[in-house]
A and B are shown apart, each in its own frame.
Chain A
């Protein structure tokens, strides 16, 4: 599904990722953990195609395609989705309109008929039922005046509607209280499936109590310094990140 090899990436001339290797199989959930500044979010943004980062070495293959050659919208249409750490406000455009535009853009490239506003309401209602939410965010302008929790919920809602094959969740837990975290994690769990892979980027182990990963990777100073099963997250919770950093420096 996703094959990252020796990925180096920099922003404004400073290298942040120093050779990432990661392989994500179909239906697998991988957690990427690491301290602040370790490059977690950079990795997520590079995968989504953020123009602010330059890949200087390495390769990323997604379903046999060279992901790095694709524009952000091509990646989205190929089934890649990133839940933003800081979702952007879009003035004047309602959530319902925005979601329909996005779904139709993807359907168009797949040769499927576009939804009209009425049909799309049904699609939306069904998605909302799946994740157990109401439609209170639908008629509001995208992320405008949303609380932190609402913004994160809105990202997950987009994921539900866009039905990605690979979802990258960039610190979807940051800034959430425990109730909001549970709400978001519940919805994510409902969207898990054998056809959908996920990369869950987080600073805290707490999220992984609710979204239980198949694999855990620890990122420090732009490299994956340790990989393991879900128990690795608990170990990190106990010991912190420092014990993992030293071998990375010594290498």
Chain B
């Protein structure tokens, strides 16, 4: 095999390299996994090899080129624990140590010594690799996230090794947030990790779950995560996801949830970091009367690019869903929002509302918004709306007429885009932490404008 210089590396070469990496992985460190996991991987790598990386000619990838990823040779990351990792965990974890539930994953692997898990009865939080030895994980892993739907999901599945496993038993209400911290380490060469997460909430379970994605080091790395979430009947789950990778990182991820009857799922996603993020958030309302809220916020600068692709699938009748995605874009950053709502035949009385608001703080920033409605039932209510542009001069005048100067008015209006989403965070300490991040970002933008 000839070495390929980075600038001429093509997508096919990247695929071939990853397949070769998989073969080495399958023959080597991955051999300890149960046979069913090995089969899952083998099927997924075949699907990835067939599909290859998406190009901007694919409708679902029109606005997002993955070329910066295919151009780079990423080695499979290994986990090491350092003082920097401990500091990173301390920075994002909330609550008193000793009382909190924090599980730490370094380059996708569970690290027990960094975790703080005094587990309540009926709750399991820890390593997927360990859980894969049991029946529960086997029943669910790979059942929701479809490798044929997304090559990055296929790749994650091919390299599935470890990640977060959470199981909350029937009628168990967890009284504090379950915090999962994913730390990626940038080494001397670019590395990739594939965290694979499985969250199971049995009938009547109630919990809040916080995923934090952080990076350490300056070099490029790539996090390729997949999360599958199952909500039983009447389960109530708030899921927060904070992506604050460092500026040289690539982040690709899929989340797929399925809800049972009368369950309530609230997902709130934040994107602040990475140079390139593609996040596919797919939620299936698969039981009558289930409720789903998916909100998201991107606050970007420089040349950051975040592509949120959401699919809300209404498979059963009488389900309401709400979706608000806001973006604030400075410099030459770019945001993409694609919101698909699918109403399956028979999913009558669906009531779905989608909103996407984009605020452009710079003339070079860009946002693309794509609502897609596919409705196969006749008694449904689906609305969608999008806004795009700089700060509204009418609102500026309104605030100035109340005594706020131009800068204060602009800052308030800008913060409002974030606050609309931050308001849906009901874990108070997390809300405070995120407020701080958004304020710091926007203050920085304001300083740039005034200098």
Contact = CB atoms under 8 A, between A and B. Distances in A.
Interface of A: 48-51, 71-73, 75-77, 81-82, 84, 87-93, 98, 101-103, 105-106, 109, 141, 158, 162
A49 B400 CA distance: 9
Given A51-B393, A101-B412, A92 B403 contact: no
Interface in B383-414: 392-395, 397-406, 408-409, 412-413
Give the interface centre of B398, B399, B400, B403 by most chain A CB atoms within 10 Å.
B403
A81 B394 CA distance: 16
Nearest to B421: A92
A81 B403 CA distance: 9
Contacts of B415: 92-93
A48 B416 contact: no
Contact of A91 (B398, B399, B408, B417): B417
Interface residues of B, number: 28
Contacts of A82: 401
Contact of A73 (B393, B400, B421): B400
Given A92-B423, A105-B408, A71 B416 contact: no
Interface in B364-392: 392
B403 A77 contact: yes
Nearest to B393: A51
Contacts, number: 85
Contact of B402 (A71, A109, A158): A158
B397 A93 contact: no
B21 interface: no
25 contacts: A48-B401, A49-B397, A72-B397, A72-B400, A73-B400, A73-B401, A76-B400, A82-B401, A88-B392, A88-B397, A88-B398, A90-B413, A91-B416, A92-B418, A92-B420, A92-B421, A93-B416, A98-B399, A98-B402, A98-B412, A101-B404, A101-B408, A101-B412, A141-B416, A158-B402
Given A92-B420, A105-B403, 13 more contacts: A51-B393, A72-B400, A72-B401, A73-B401, A73-B406, A76-B402, A77-B403, A92-B417, A98-B399, A105-B405, A141-B420, A158-B402, A162-B403
A103 B415 CA distance: 18
B398 A90 contact: yes
Contacts of A49: 397, 400-401
B416 A106 contact: no
In terms of DSSP, what is the predominant structure of the interface of chain B? Answer: helix
Nearest 3 Cβ contacts at the A-B interface: A92-B416, A92-B419, A92-B420
B113 to A, nearest CB: 41
Nearest to A105: B403
Nearest to B419: A92
Contacts of B400: 49, 71-73, 76
B234 interface: no
Nearest to A49: B401
Interface of B: 357, 392-395, 397-406, 408-409, 412-413, 415-423
B394 A88 contact: yes
Contacts of B394: 88
A91 to B, nearest CB: 5
A105 B406 CA distance: 11
A138 to B, nearest CB: 14
B416 A162 contact: no
Given A51-B393, A90-B412, A98-B412, A84 B404 contact: no
A110 B408 CA distance: 17
Give the interface centre of B398, B405, B412 by most chain A CB atoms within 10 Å.
B398
A181 to B, nearest CB: 23
A158 B393 CA distance: 20
B395 A88 contact: yes
B420 to A, nearest CB: 4
Contacts of B421: 92
Contacts of A102: 399, 402-404
Contact of B399 (A75, A77, A90, A141): A90
Contacts of A90: 395, 398-399, 412-413, 416
Nearest to B404: A105
B398 A84 contact: yes
A104 to B, nearest CB: 9
Nearest to A72: B400
Nearest to A161: B402
Contacts of B393: 51
Contact of A162 (B392, B402, B417, B420): B402
Contacts of A92: 415-423
A101 B410 CA distance: 12
Contacts of A76: 400-403
